Amino acid sequence: MAKPSKADGKKHVDCRYCQACGGELCAGFTPELARIMASHNAGGRKIKAGDDLFGPDAPSNAIFSLVDGWAFRYILTEDGGRQILDFALPGVVLGLPVAGPAHTFGAQALTDCIACIIPHAVLGPLSQQHPEIGLRLASLISQDRSLAFDHLTSIGRQSARERVAHLLLELFIRCRAQWPGCRTEEMHLPLTQEHIGDATGLTFVHVNRVLRELHQEGIAEFHYRRLRILDPDKLVDVAGTNRDLAAAWLQERPLGDKACIAAQLHLASHGMSAGPGLPSSSWKSRDMPVSGAGRPSR
Amino acid sequence: MAKPSKADGKKHVDCRYCQACGGELCAGFTPELARIMASHNAGGRKIKAGDDLFGPDAPSNAIFSLVDGWAFRYILTEDGGRQILDFALPGVVLGLPVAGPAHTFGAQALTDCIACIIPHAVLGPLSQQHPEIGLRLASLISQDRSLAFDHLTSIGRQSARERVAHLLLELFIRCRAQWPGCRTEEMHLPLTQEHIGDATGLTFVHVNRVLRELHQEGIAEFHYRRLRILDPDKLVDVAGTNRDLAAAWLQERPLGDKACIAAQLHLASHGMSAGPGLPSSSWKSRDMPVSGAGRPSR
DNA sequence: CGGATACTTGATGTCTCTCAACTAGTGTGG
DNA sequence: CCACACTAGTTGAGAGACATCAAGTATCCG
């Protein structure tokens, strides 16, 4: 994935191999436009797990399209707390232009990452020639916003138990949408319980207790970066997720009702992928793309 | 404001009188483009206080630019709860295109409202001819997102006291940015304590207790839809707001530091407006634009 | 294998919710 | 201009969810 084009020293990411192009920034663009986007790519930067893609006070001057790896966006509070705003899977576009001169949030890599960087400066002229870019950006930010609204509702109106279930389900569904070839109910989730706490507005101690509960009840298990969905139906139930939100997560693939989500998960666990399945050997390399931390075990 | 152009029966809003054009959708557009936008306006719809501009399950097929009045976006949870996502002042654009076919949220009028409606169907072709529209939309949604991120952080990481102070401060600052002529520390805020609760993830009972506290401590007072900032500095302090967020609220008008916010508020209370002040008689009509509920008293 | 990180568990405290009754303010219709 | 009904706000008591503090154990990774 994201093989460097031509020479290794050359920093351009070859969009033909860019996972990000599957679903996000360049999706649906003509090959010509995709090529143009690639030519404006300032570099396929590698970011190590734990490092910031950009800090909370960094100027907002470029688009980061996450080609490979996991990341999250966060805000630091004045009293030393951290709120995780959302998690970013490959294909997600971070660091979109904002109103002010700087972001109010930062983005940090959870695993080693590769990001495709397009300076804002080229966006204006580029979108003049290719108007679809503006609308594409609007659509991407709109997805961010939907997710943010969803988290807001979860944190504001759900119990700890529901919030944690909600987050696990969200990440599981997004993962499956991202890697359709992955046909297992067990996945690598490069988070700590502290990340879950910071995303759900809880302490990691309490997250731990909630996870124990969910495990004891046979609903889901999360332990040292491995997530197992034990009972999809119950999980959907506890998460209190409505079908619309799930549909939004699945991006352009609306579901009929809640049962459908569970059905999807069942399909997953029973190895009956909906789309044309990838060879089973390939899920590993796609699910755990780049980092050492991304390895299932060793 | 928003006088119907030409005949009263004709539904078009004359953009020359549209407050919304001051800061949002059409801001910075050439007069020609503004005229084109106006010509695509499907009608200046009036919505009564308490009615939905669009419901949570309504198809997402048009842009609602709020010309006059207050509104809020919300999500209803499965267990009958409501989460208010954000409040919309005149100029805000609601109902932007989303990824899926329907919104996952609804929008409800707090006061009588006038909205300018532009069908999504015309956006594609229009943005082909006028590429700046796409980027403008992206920028507007990005502002939504910033606000959502901010609320997320407040709900996830602040105490009840801080959350309420934070919301009051946000609304106060946004109001002042909206109506620069308004030079008083007392304003009309068409909310109930229940709205505040639903926005901050608290019960209205607890909101009430927090408001009593803030009042007793001489920080702020909110009572029957009137907000009074008693001590701007303390309020900023309690809200735990950092300058970046405040700058984002003030849209394109970044502040130096926290003291600046307080300074702004002081200016407000002392009648020293920064910009070219409006005649003092005009603030009333601008602050309480349309509705009966919007009247200071009678 | 050893240090560092992540996870686990218990005891205790507190913030916020729930339930319930009551009061104040608003707006309508006479 | 007043009375009434309705909505919004107020207050108290008690319970529960979650945080905090503190000490331990498991897992990872070099």
- CB burial string A191-200: b at 16+ within 10 A, e below: bebebbbbbb
- Tell me the per-residue pLDDT of A216-260, one tens digit each, with 9 for 90 and over: 999 999 999 999 999 988 999 999 876 555 555 544 343 334 445
Q: Which helix (H) or strand (E) holds A54?
A: strand A52-54
Q: B72 has which bridge partners?
A: B87, B108
According to the model, what pLDDT value does residue A279 have? 32
Strands ordered across the beta sheet of B220-223 = B186-188, B226-229, B220-223
CA atom of A78 to C1′ atom of D15, Å: 32
Determine the straight-line distance between the first and last CA of chain A, rounded to whole angstroms: 22
For B155, the enclosing helix (H) or strand (E) is: helix B132-157
Question: Distance between CA atoms of A65 and B73, rounded to whole angstroms?
Answer: 29
Torsion sign (Cα): B245, B246, B251, B255? negative
- A244·B135 Cβ contact <8 A: no
Provide the pLDDT for residue A135: 83
Residue whose token pair is 């796609």: A286
- Range among A55-69, B64-78, B255-269, B278-292 with highest mean pLDDT value: B64-78
Question: Which are the contacts of B54, defined by CB distance < 8 A and separation ≥ 6?
Answer: B64, B94, B95, B103, B106, B107
pLDDT at B27: 61
Nucleotide nearest to B202 (CA to C1'): C16
Q: Which of residues 203-222 of B touch strand D (CB under 7 A)?
A: 204-205, 208-209, 211-212
Most confident of A254-263, B25-34, B104-113, B120-129: B104-113
Q: What percent of chain A has pLDDT over 70?
A: 63
> What average pLDDT does the structure give for chain A?
74
pLDDT greater at residue A192 or residue B122: A192
Cα–Cα distances (Å) from A69 to A178, A248, A285, in that order, read: 12, 22, 12
**Residue A182: which pLDDT band, with cuts at 50, 70 and 90?**
low
Q: Is the CB of A194 under 7 A from strand D?
A: no
Residue A54 pLDDT more than 50? yes
Q: Is the full-model pTM beyond 0.75?
A: yes
Q: How far apart are CA A271 and CA A274, in angstroms?
A: 9
Assigned token pair, A17: 């191999």
- Residue of chain B nearest A81, judged by CA positions: B157
Kindly report the backbone phi and psi dihedral angles of residue A145, in degrees, each rounded to the nearest multiple of 5, phi listed first: -65, -45
pLDDT at position A49: 92
Q: Do A143 and B77 touch (CB under 8 A)?
A: no
Question: Is the minimum distance from the CB of A203 to strand D below 7 Å?
Answer: yes
Mean pLDDT value across residues A60-79 = 89
Residues of B in contact with A79 (CB under 8 A): 240
Residue of chain A minimizing CA distance to B145? A145
| Interchain contact A180–B (C-beta under 8 A) | no
- Asked whether the predicted pLDDT for residue B274 surpasses 90, the reply is no
The shortest CB-CB distance from B143 to any of A99, A101, A127 is to A99
CB of B127 within 8 Å of a chain A CB? The answer is yes
Work out the pLDDT band at A160, boundaries 50, 70, 90.
very high
- Report the percent of chain B where pLDDT is more than 70: 63
Give the pLDDT score at A72: 97
**What is the rounded average pLDDT of the residues B154-178?**
93
Task: Answer for the pair A102, A111: CB distance below 8 angstroms, yes or no.
Answer: no
Within chain A, how many helices (H) and strands (E) appear?
11, 11
Contact status, residue B74 vs residue B110, Cβ threshold 8 Å? no
Average pLDDT rounded to a whole number, residues A145-157: 95
Q: How far apart are CA B191 and CA A63, in angstroms?
A: 38
Judged against a pLDDT cut of 80, whether residue A298 lies above it is answered with no
